[in-house]
Amino acid sequence: MKYHLIHKDSICTVLDKARQYRSLREPDLAISICIDVFAVDGENQEALVIYILALTDQYSHQHGKVQPKKIIEAIAKLKSEFHRIYYTGIFLERKARALLKNPMSHSFAYDGLMEAIEKYEAAEKMAPSHCSDPILRYNSCLRTIEKENLQPRSEFDELY
């Protein structure tokens, strides 16, 4: 069997469906739709953003198989440097938040959130004047660090 191609004129409509599947916590369906868009418009930036977000949504699913390499490759295809930095921050943040589910991984979550914060700071400096997204994500990461009382790993801690 062979995949059917969507009509190029339907891209806006199908991307709305992909957003809807993301909001329904069905990232696999959103990813599939984005792949269909890439088959007819391989450079579609809107589909790339939805694809990246849907891939990172899988971090919040217990049985989701996250593919960091695909996320990194998709981010690299974004034309805007601001978007590449901002979505790298989202990738790092979501990866770190997934680590919070395991108490043994909290120090790694701290490191990941701090990496995300660095990306959001860089993105904030180049964001359009009307875009507060990097600030909101930065503040959210900082509040999570405070709420969870996360601390950096201490390389010299020893167990006695």
Q: What is the pLDDT along the chain (160 residues), one digit of tens a residue?
A: 999 999 999 999 999 999 999 999 999 999 999 999 999 999 999 999 999 999 999 998 766 688 999 999 999 999 999 999 999 999 999 999 999 988 888 989 999 999 999 999 999 999 999 999 999 999 999 999 999 999 998 765 444 4
Distance CA 142, CA 41 (A): 38
From 27, 9, 10, select the one nearest 18 (Cα to Cα).
27
Q: Which two tokens stand for residue 116?
A: 């995300």
CB 58 within 8 A of CB 64: yes
What are 87's two structure tokens? Answer: 């979505």
Task: Find tokens 């043994």 and name the residue.
Answer: 104
